[in-house]
Amino acid sequence: MLKPKTLTLFLSILLIVAVTCNVKAETGTRTYVYSFASLEVRIEYPFETYPNQSITINITTRALASLNVSYILLDLYTLHNLTREEILLHSISHISTPKLFSNNEWFNKTYKVFIPEYAINVLYGKLKLKWTLTGTVEKDTYERELTVIMSYLKSLELDRLRNENTMLKENLTNLNNKLTELNNTLTELRNNLTDIQHRYEGELSGTRSAIVVLAVVTVFFVATTAYLVLRRPKQVW
């Protein structure tokens, strides 16, 4: 069972994503977009992956006015399969020192990140931003820290069990079909046996009647013959 801290974390993630970002689902990838006060940050990442593999994360920063970006950092977190606690697995320093941007200027970089074997369920990031609008008199400075739901972490063992479960269901369906066929065959054999029994019972009844008649005739014949022999006149010598 997830601890209250972990549950609160997931609820916070869902709220932040719903309010502050625009996520576009694509084939195999997703794009997180944060845009505020003339700064736009896009993060592209795989929709799902497996632990013990490397993923590619692409970050693009674009200025919609003259900006001085102090930093753009992305810390990647996951849950540990033993403790179920969040754990920092990688930090990306997209911009670590102040960088000036002119209007419509952009900066893009791709990063390779290894997902450790202990990672489970989900990969999420904490995006830290600080920038200043330099084209205004006030030179307003903004700081943000956002939580981004990223890749869903699949399980090879779970996939294997699901495949085995699917195969077992198919085998069970085949066995049920064969059992139905055998039951139908057994019913047909029973019906045939019943027909044969009825037919031979009729024939046997007829045979018994014939035997009785034959026995009566035989007895009558023997009795008649004996009577005739006994009534025959004795020969006179």
Residues 69/103, Cβ–Cβ less than 8 Å: no
Residues 137 and 161 in one domain: no
The reported pLDDT for the residue numbered 168 is 77
Q: Give the CA distances from residue 122 to residues 96, 153, 227, in Å, rounded to whole numbers and listed in that order.
A: 26, 5, 114
Q: Which domain holds residue 81?
A: 4-154
Whether 18 and 124 map to the same domain: the answer is: yes
Spatial CA neighbour of 128 closest among 57, 70, 62, 66: 70
pLDDT at 224: 74
Asked if 56 and 100 sit in the same domain, the reply is yes
User: Quick one: DSSP state of residue 133?
Assistant: E
Count structural domains, the chain.
2
* DSSP secondary structure code for residue 217 in this structure: H
Task: Verify that 106 and 136 share a domain, yes or no.
Answer: yes
Beta carbons within 8 Å of 79's beta carbon, 6+ residues apart: 6, 85, 86, 87, 119, 120, 121, 122
Q: Where are the alpha helices (DSSP H) in the chain?
A: 4-20, 156-231
Contact in structure between 63 and 101 (CB atoms under 8 Å): yes
Tell me which of 121, 154, 187 is where a domain ends: 154
Q: What are the phi and psi torsion angles at 142 (to 5°)?
A: -125, 145
Count of C-beta atoms within a 10 Å radius of residue 146: 20
**What token pair was written down for 190?**
């029973």
From 154, 177, 209, the end of a domain falls on 154
Q: Let me know: does 22 contact 148? Beta carbons within 8 Å.
A: no
Query: Which regions in the chain score pLDDT beneath 70?
Result: 1-27, 156-161, 164, 202-207, 209, 213, 216-217, 219-221, 227-237
Q: Same domain for 93 and 162?
A: no
- Here the tokens at position 55 are 């993923």
The DSSP code sequence of 34-64 is EEETTEEEEEEEESEE-TTEEEEEEEEEEES
- Shared-domain flag, residues 139 and 176: no
pLDDT for res 195: 81
What are residue 45's phi and psi, to 5 degrees?
-155, 160
Residues 123 and 185 in one domain: no
Q: Do 59 and 172 fall into the same domain?
A: no
Cβ pair 110, 58 in contact under 8 A: yes
Q: Do 126 and 195 belong together in one domain?
A: no
> Domain boundary residue among 154, 189, 223?
154
Q: Report pLDDT for 165.
A: 76
Task: Check if the beta carbon of residue 151 is closer than 8 Å to that of residue 48.
Answer: yes
Tell me the per-residue pLDDT of 140-175, one tens digit each, with 9 for 90 and over: 999 999 999 999 998 766 666 677 678 778 888 888
Assess whether 160 and 149 both reside in one domain: no
Q: Please tell me whether residues 123 and 193 are part of one structural domain.
A: no
What is the domain-level CATH number for residue 52?
2.60.40.10
pTM of the model: 0.60
Cβ(120)–Cβ(128) under 8 Å? no
Q: Are residues 129 and 162 in the same domain?
A: no
